[in-house]
Amino acid sequence: MTSLADTFARAKAEGRAALIGYLPAGYPSYSGCVDALVAMVEGGVDIVEVGLPYSDPLMDGPTIQEAAQAALAGGTTTRDVLKTVEAVAATGAATVVMSYWNPIERYGVGPFADSMAAAGGVGVITPDLTPDEAGPWLAAVGSAGIDPIFLVAPSSSEARISQVAGVTRGFLYAASTMGVTGVRSQVSGAASTLVARVRPLTDLPVAVGLGVSTGEQAAEVAAYADGVIVGSAFVRCLIDAPDAVAGVAAVRALAGELAAGVRSGR
C-alpha cells in the first residue's frame, strides 16, 4: 500500500498538488464503482476516496446524495465498501474511506479500523466526528496504523484548527465553504484564506474540497493547497452517462483534465 505521507511527498517533489478523487461505493454498482475508481487512478488521481453510503448525509449535496441513495437501494453494505477499498488499493494508489460516524460505530470501531488496514486502506475521513469525541476512534486507528482525517472550515477558530490538526494524520481536510458538496461555477474565495490560516498551525498537508469540477479550478486551488479534492464532478460523470462504459470513460477523462490542472497550478 502507498501511504498518504509518501503520496503528498511525491507530489511536492514534483512541484504540484496531489489530486484526490471521490466516489460512493456501490454506484452505479459494486463492479461499476470499482471500474470507475480504477479509471480515476489511470487518469491521474493520486488518492482515492471511497464513500460509505449513508442514509442521513449531512455534508453531501444532491449529486452525491442521489448516488449514495441508489447505492443503498442496491444493497451496498459496509463490507462492500471494504471490498471496494481492497480492489482499489491493489492499483497502488493511496486509498481512504469517507464515512459518517454512525456506520463505523455500528460496524464496531476497532473492527472497522482493523478491516480497513487488512483491505489496504490508509486513512478514514470522518466529517461529523469531532476531536472531543474521538478518543476510542483515535485509539483504534492508532493500533491499526490508519490515518484519522478531520475537517476544518472557514468558521473554525485558530484554537479549533490547532485542536483538529493535533489529532489528524495524513492530511487536513479544508472545507472551502460552509455549505454541502456540489459542483460550483467557482471555488469559494474563503478556501485560500482558510489554508493561509491553517499553515502556521500545522505541518500537515492541507487538501481543499467542496466545489472543484474543472481543470482550471483544480489549477487555482493547487496554487495554494497541497491537495485538491473532487467528488461531485466525478459522480456527475456516472449519473449523466448513457451507460456504465461511457461513465467510466468520462471519469477517466475528467481525471486527466484535473491531473493536468494540478500540475499547472504552480
Catalytic residue among 35, 60, 147, 226: 60
Instruction: Please report the pLDDT score of residue 178 as a whole number.
Output: 41
Q: Which of 100, 98, 84 is nearest to 37 (CA)?
A: 84
Distance of CA 158 to the CA centre of its chain: 23
User: What gap in Å lies between CA 188 and CA 108, rounded to an integer?
Assistant: 37
Assign residue 210 a region: left if phi > 0, alpha if psi is -120 to 50, beta otherwise? left
Decide: residue 8, CB within 10 A, 0-12 exposed, 13-18 middle, 19+ buried. Answer: buried
Question: Considering the chain, what is the average pLDDT of its residues?
Answer: 93
- In the predicted structure, residue 206 carries a pLDDT above the cut 70: yes
Catalytic residue among 35, 46, 49, 226: 49
Dihedral (C-alpha) 206, 210, 213, 216: value to the nearest 10 degrees? -50
Q: Catalytic: 49?
A: yes
Bridge partner residues of 156 (DSSP): none
- DSSP sequence for 45-111: -SEEEEE---SS-TT--HHHHHHHHHHHHTT--HHHHHHHHHHHHTTTSEEEEE--HHHHHHH-HHH
Q: Catalytic: 114?
A: no
**Structural domains in the chain?**
4-264 (3.20.20.70)
Mean pLDDT value of segment 192-209? 96
User: What gap in Å lies between CA 253 and CA 195, rounded to an integer?
Assistant: 28
Instruction: Please report the pLDDT score of residue 180 as a whole number.
Output: 42
Q: Which of 228, 119, 117 is nearest to 171 (CA)?
A: 228
- In the predicted structure, residue 179 carries a pLDDT above the cut 90: no
pTM for the structure as a whole: 0.93
- In the predicted structure, residue 165 carries a pLDDT above the cut 60: yes
Instruction: State pLDDT tens for residues 62-101.
Output: 889 999 999 999 999 999 999 999 999 999 999 999 999 9
Instruction: State pLDDT tens for residues 207-225.
Output: 998 789 999 999 999 999 9
